Amino acid sequence: METTATILHADLDAFYASVEQLLAPSLRGKPIAVGGGVVLAASYEARAFGVRSGMPGRKARELCPQLIFVGGNFSHYQRLGDAAIKVLDDFTPVVERISIDEAFADVAGCTHLFGEPQEIATAIRRRVRAELGLPISIGVARTKHLAKIASQVAKPDGLVVVDPGTELAFLHDLPVSLMWGVGPATKARLAEIGIETIGQLARTHSGALTRLLGPAAGEKLAALAWNRDPRKLETRRRAHSAGAQSALGQKPAVARVIVPTLLHLADRVASRLRAKARPGRTVTARVRFADLSAVTRSITLDQPISATTMLAEIAGDLVRGVLADHPREKTISLLAISVSHLEESAELQLDLPLGLADEKRRPGSQKGLARFGADRAIDKIRERFGKHAVGYGTVALEAARSVPDEFRELAEKEL
């Protein structure tokens, strides 16, 4: 591990809301939210009232009656996000972009040109503000995990450098919710055994964490709590999976909710797989219940798939299995689908017409080939006339419409 703090994590502050305030100066200093039915992003002025992304618009208006909703300028989000990352590229070629508005950069090899890491971070922040008009927070540390935490502590519009000699003192007083991988459900589980800070987590016996979170998550969080993070920056990383999720609020766990939502998610995932010719073998479905607890199920197939209806049906079986195992859960708040074990230009093994029960889910069968052909026809129509020109049924097209597809695509990884 490096002995000096040379890893930067740069994160544009309240990015979507900040862009809206940049484009419309009359919105500056006012509480705004991007979205409508659901809050996609909130300005810091809105966050002061408790407004958060993912919150239903009705609740957001109750918390902040003066809240201003704006629709979203997605082309500008992409343009300005790319421009901010380009500023990092001007200082170092070792940049790992992890979303539209944040990236890691390792400046170990360019300090002789641009000065110490803190000076480089200061210069980046100054340029992003001057050239793009946007606030950006940067954390500087020895490890990726600590740099990301430092950038969160630096918000809004700040810079935090963690000296190697002060790492644990800095880290252990912070809440566990700042750790990578600690979401609401994990935070609640940790709180049940009295763990609220990273220091308390670090001092907890590994066996207790394993029993609570499972071996993989327990060991990972225990290591990160002591700042043990050997990961290097990956500048040419390709995604090993493709996924999509839909936050539902509080919906009954019934077919009329589940089926169209899974078809909509499968459409988003499978179309990306086909566009890159990267079908996958493992299908995973995730169900989150009303109390924010979540259950995941997966299946690995004999042949890789990228057909939309095939993926939706397989995910539907997995979700029904989850609900059968949890009969008391009558309300769901999120559904997600992902496909992993992606293959490069996989050769399709044709099946003999044997009349098998699962023939329509076999890519090489007559029915499977027909489904894939229908998908390709839809892909071509969308390429020419737009993504909303044709879909897989009117119900599916209306599913999850509260979050525009353009917004979802900004957050989805390139395959």
Catalytic residue numbers read: 102
Q: How many CB atoms lie within 10 A of CB 196?
A: 13
Cβ burial 331-349 (10 Å sphere, 16+ → b, else e):
ebbbbbbbbbebeeebeee
User: 240: number of CA atoms within 13 Å, CB side?
Assistant: 2
Residue 92 is given by DSSP the state -
Decide: residue 269, CB within 10 A, 0-12 exposed, 13-18 middle, 19+ buried.
buried
Structural contact between residues 36 and 57, judged by C-beta atoms closer than 8 angstroms: yes
Angular region, 351: left φ>0, alpha ψ -120 to 50, beta rest: beta
Gyration radius from the chain CA atoms = 23
Sequence-ordered list of residues with C-beta below 8 angstroms from that of 279, at least 6 positions apart, any chain? 273, 304, 305, 306, 339, 342, 343, 346, 363
Cα separation, 36 vs 56, whole angstroms: 8
Question: CA angle, corner 315, sides to 358 and 286, nearest 5?
Answer: 155
Long-range contact pairs involving 399-404 (C-beta distance under 8 Å, separation at least 24): 399/246, 399/260, 399/261, 399/263, 399/264, 400/246, 400/261, 400/264, 400/265, 401/37, 402/35, 402/36, 402/37, 402/38, 403/35, 403/38, 403/40, 403/246, 403/247, 404/72, 404/74
